[in-house]
Chain A
Amino acid sequence: QSALTQPPSASGSPGQSVAISCTGTNSDVGGYNYVSWYQQHPGKAPKLMIYEVNKRPSGVPDRFSGSKSGNTASLTVSGLQAEDEADYYCNSYAGSNNVVFGGGTKLTVL
């Protein structure tokens, strides 16, 4: 499987909203509601932020939300804060125990 397509970078000012896209195919993103998003700060382990397209694990602020339309999933961060500056990765189940990750998006808070 090819990697999911994410923009390499995104940015926004504190308080603004920013959306990060994750584009796949109907064999992964479009075919399953098992899209997840992970936040990774430099030198740290990834942290699950969104699972099953739009569900938030306990402890994740509701400023983070997920959605999907066709073969493209999106992560929206509202009310940007300085601590949201990190790399964000999406992944999707792709059938038969396969998984594909996106290449990652570096989110900068201006």
Chain B
Amino acid sequence: EVQLVESGGGLVQPGGSLRLSCVASGFKFTNNWMSWVRQAPGKGLKWVANIKPDETQKFFADSVRGRFTISRDNAKNSLYLQMNNLRAEDTAVYYCARDNGWHTYDFWGQGTLVTVSS
């Protein structure tokens, strides 16, 4: 059974940093692109970033480029999102999702809530 479990969310002040983690199981993590997708309270889904299996390619939405970094540790079946210089508009539930490389997300984690507020 495919499982994706996120952690690391919480309350952070504007300008602060947070690191999200996602542990994968039930599939060959090293073969798959992975994405982070977020959902602001009461709003729709927005893609944040994705990463190729060998980490040679990483892509970001315009709204987070230069502030967020995506990485993975294939030995630990883990995906990460380092979020710096956080803004109020980054407040959202962050989901990690398996990505087929064409932005089809076939499995999702349960999400972790990030709240940016003073």
Contacts and interface: CB of A to CB of B under 8 A. Distances in A.
Interface residues of B, number: 20
A25 B111 CA distance: 30
Contacts of B59: 97
B115 interface: no
A47 B47 contact: no
B45 A46 contact: yes
B95 A57 contact: no
Main secondary structure of the interface of A (DSSP, over half): strand
Most B C-beta atoms less than 10 A away, residue of A32, A89, A97, A104: A97
A3 B103 CA distance: 15
Nearest to A32: B102
B95 A34 contact: no
Given A102-B44, A103-B44, A91 B108 contact: no
Residue in B44, B100, B110 whose Cβ sees the most chain A Cβ within 10 Å: B44
